[in-house]
Structures are given as structure tokens and as C-alpha cells.
Amino acid sequence: MVEVVIATKNEKKLRELKRYLKGIKARIVSLNEMGHSPRIKEDSGTFKGNAVKKAGAVSRFTKGIVLADDSGLEVDILGGQPGVMSARFAGNRKKDRDNNSKLLKMLEGIPSKDRSARFVCAIAIADNGKVVKVIEEYCKGRIALSIRGAHGFGYDPLFLIPRYNRTFGELGLKIKDKMSHRSKALKKARKFLRSYFALQS
């Protein structure tokens, strides 16, 4: 069976990626399962740049197929912050709640109508060091006035979907899987991988 390495050590993100890739005829392996892997500095100014860098570097190391994701939140009134710093917004060793608290503090006094934001997901797929596919997807919403809901991770309890007037933290997986930035990108990645595997066989 074909092996696809997911270039992440984030267990929450890995579970989500595995769920979206369900159905492809491949063994999904994480960097944690490999035991050791190259250290990659995510120093690009874009999600796409970081995803491409990670996929290429890990694929050169494994000599096989690697899928890398870089994703995060962009808030319009903050000029696109936290952007590529989404996971480290409050500091390298801080947790989701710290990032959420910092964002809420920066948006204090800003009315709901001016809190537009979007989640961004960039996926890069590489084979033996060569990037063979790049996908970018988005999900638009607003930043809630307070943390709402306990589902998901990252900024999910703050990311409000106006259509439902609920955050991803309140909506849960069933609805999130239909519309999130990562679900849309991974559905395209799954379709590409199926075609790619067929060409290799």
C-alpha cells in the first residue's frame, strides 16, 4: 500500500487531516510515527510558502509522498493578523486559549460588523522532493465577541459563521466538515491523490 506522510506533529490537526483523507487507498503516517524528521523553519510570509517548504523538505527526507498543510486565521481590521503566526500568536509556548485571549483583547471595542475574518488553508503535496500539487482554500466568517463552544481547536470557538450565528466551536464536526477551509482543501487533495496513485500504478 502507498504511504503518505503528513508533515505535522500537531495531533489535533493530524486527526482532522486523517478524517478528511479517509477513503484514499494509502497508509497515513505522521511525523511523530517516523521517530525523527528534518527540522523545518516556517519562515515564509504566506501559508502557501510554508506548506510548499514543509512538503518539499520532508519528501526529500522520506523519498516518498508527503502532504503538508499550513493554515491559520486572517482578520481584516488587523491587516491580516495573526496570519502565518496564528499558532504562535501569543508566543511559541502558548496554547490555544492564550491566542484566543490575545485576539479578543486586540479587538476590544470593535463592533461585530467590523470583525470580518477568514480561515485560510494551503496544502502542498510532494513526491520525492518535488512539489506536484498546491491547493488553497478559504472560509469566511467573523470573530465573535467572546469564546463560544468547546468543539474543535485553535480559533474555532471565536470563528463565527453568520449564516448560523454560531462559531465552529458550537457547530461541531458535521457542519464544519462541509464548509471549513481545511475540509475544502483536503477534499481536493483527496481527489488529486486518487488520480496520482492511479497514474503511478
pTM of the model: 0.90
With contact defined as beta carbons under 8 Å apart, do 52 and 67 qualify? no
Q: What is the CATH number of domain 2-200?
A: 3.90.950.10
Instruction: Give the model's pLDDT for residue 17.
Output: 83
With contact defined as beta carbons under 8 Å apart, do 148 and 165 qualify? no
DSSP 82: B
- Whether the pLDDT of residue 201 is over 80: the answer is no
Express each pLDDT in 90-102 by its tens digit. Answer: 998 889 999 999 9
What distance in Å separates the CA atoms of residue 159 and residue 73, rounded to the nearest whole number? 9
43, 69, 70, 127: which one is catalytic? 70
Express each pLDDT in 157-195 by its tens digit. Answer: 999 999 999 999 999 888 888 899 999 999 999 999 999
Burial string for 164-176 (b: 16+ CB within 10 Å, else e) reads eebbbbbbeeebb
Is 43 assigned a catalytic role? no
